[in-house]
Amino acid sequence: MRKLFRLTWISVLVLLLALVLVVFGRAWQAGQQAGVLENVEPLTVTLEAEALAQRLAGALRFPTISYQDPAQIDSGAFRALHAYLKAQFPRVHTHLRQEVISGLSLLYTWPGQDTTLPAVLFMGHQDVVPIATPEAWTHPPFGGVIADGFIWGRGALDDKVSVLGVLEAVEQLLAEGFQPVRTVYLAFGHDEEVGGRYGARRIAEILKARKVSLIAVVDEGGFVVAGVIPGITRPVALVGVAEKGYVSLELRARASGGHSSTPPRQTAIGTLSQAIVTLVENPFPARLEGPTRGLLERLAPYASFGPRIVLANLWLFGPLMKQALARSPAGNASLRTTMAPTIFEAGVKENVLPTHARAVVNFRIFPGETVASVEQRVRALLQGLPVQVNRLEGTGTDPSPVSDFEGEAFRRLAAAIRKARAETPPIVAPYLVPGATDARYFTTLSPNVYRFIGAQITSELLATLHGVDERIPVQEYVLAVRTYYALLRRLSAP
């Protein structure tokens, strides 16, 4: 008996030792992959920072605001921007075929030497969101001011940086006599901020009708970040490989109403509150998979040894990692379908019971789930409560497919990004975009839709996007143009 006991203990010890060896072995192995960021050969292209900044600043002076109601759009501002682009990028407008789509969107075609190969598409959008508080801005939102090392104005980050950045890179390549092997398309929509129905969606339909296939699509959606991921000191290029879906559900509770001196047990407000509490207390399952898992795995080689043990062994520490991520709102959003009650209304008088109460809950849907499955889950959770659930009109978009981040196209993209920023090459990693971009319309044309701008952005700057004092550092704009230049070369190669 004692012998058996000893044997069991020995086998437990051996198993534990094996586990420790595997865990440490994987962490060590991950560390060996860090070499990809050493000795990156820098891109050789000379760009005039001052001229680049001036041209972007000039484009920020056109108030190309988009509105849900197309009649409200100032098409004159868009046409003036088109004329400006034509004047600033003469080579582009001589060598590329230009089409105007839906009146204000732009589609350029740069024919490749081999038109039988799948083409490549670069995107951006001309439109910007309105200005809520112009008086709060340091410089006028449509002033296009260059000051303190920044280019200031609405659209500096979202998204004239892409439109001008891509055009700068193409103009430079044309000046060098470069001819792409694959055909290059440039698509600049005019209504991304209001859904992209007439711009990007129409352009995608046109390319589809022309039977165009694309090796890759590059749009906005991710930046280079630094210091936001604990344990990682290197900058990280976050390449959006998928975007979450979107739906808002309306909940309605009805009751008999009456005088508040003799209230019934169940009131409209009470019932609706119960429904919201039920939803909040039953979050959607957290799933450490897809782009989020891919991101953590790409970070592993560059983490200090402690965190690396966890990142390189998600098979073991996955549940721990999920808990850690779920603590921050951004981390939580990268793991699951989120829900946010955004509207709650009921009642007209302080001593009268309302006959109905209404709430709206906004859901951002994780890849793998759908609008229908979210609706189904909400109904199941609220079963038994006298609450009506309806999809809010005009909402309901499934998550995008997840683009490939293991294959050749992503490898080319990653190499180009590192080359463009060779002084401190970033870790290039996939990530899940919490919002929506025009890129989703092109997922049927290419398995490789990447959302990324090659500028490093602090969280302070990120907050200016759609906010006050939107601006981009001149240095980072130059690096974004370098990145487009490198991407154009790499992705248009055979």
List active site positions: 127, 192
* Least gap, CB of 201 to Zn ion (angstroms): 15
Kindly state whether residue 470 participates in binding Zn ion, applying the rule CB under 5 A: no
Kindly state whether residue 127 participates in binding Zn ion, applying the rule CB under 5 A: no
Q: CB-wise, 158 or 469, nearer to Zn ion?
A: 158
Q: CB-wise, 159 or 398, nearer to Zn ion?
A: 159
* Least gap, CB of 158 to Zn ion (angstroms): 4
Q: CB-wise, 159 or 470, nearer to Zn ion?
A: 159
* Least gap, CB of 457 to Zn ion (angstroms): 13
Q: What is the per-residue binding string for Zn ion in 130-169, x denoting contact by CB under 5 A?
A: ----------------------------xx----------
Q: What is the per-residue binding string for Zn ion in 35-74, x denoting contact by CB under 5 A?
A: ----------------------------------------
* Least gap, CB of 127 to Zn ion (angstroms): 8
* Least gap, CB of 64 to Zn ion (angstroms): 12
* Distance set, CA 485 to CA 168, 385, 408, 421 (Å): 8, 58, 19, 12
* Least gap, CB of 104 to Zn ion (angstroms): 16
Query: What 3 state SS string does the chain have?
Result: CHHHHHHHHHHHHHHHHHHHHHHHHHHHHHHHHHHHHCCCCCCCCCCCHHHHHHHHHHHCCCCCECCCCHHHCCHHHHHHHHHHHHHHCHHHHHHCEEEEECCCEEEEEECCCCCCCCEEEEEEECCECCCCCHHHCCCCCCCCEEECCEEECCCCCCCHHHHHHHHHHHHHHHHCCCCCCCCEEEEEECCHHHCCCCCHHHHHHHHHHCCCCEEEEEECCCCEECCCCCCCCCCEEEEEEEECEEEEEEEEEECCCEECCCCCCCCHHHHHHHHHHHHHHCCCCCCCCHHHHHHHHHHHHHCCHHHHHHHCCHHHHHHHHHHHHHCCHHHHHCCCCEEEEEEEEECCCCCEECCEEEEEEEEEECECECHHHHHHHHHHHCCCCCEEEEECCCCCECCCCCCCCCCHHHHHHHHHHHHHCCCCCCEEEEEEECCCCHHHHHCCCCCCEEECCCCECCHHHHCCCCCCCCEEEHHHHHHHHHHHHHHHHHHCCC
Q: CB-wise, 158 or 398, nearer to Zn ion?
A: 158
* Least gap, CB of 126 to Zn ion (angstroms): 10
Q: CB-wise, 469 or 470, nearer to Zn ion?
A: 470
Total of chain residues touching Zn ion, rule CB under 5 A: 2
Q: CB-wise, 159 or 243, nearer to Zn ion?
A: 159
Q: CB-wise, 158 or 191, nearer to Zn ion?
A: 158
Residues contributing to the site for Zn ion (CB under 5 A):
158-159
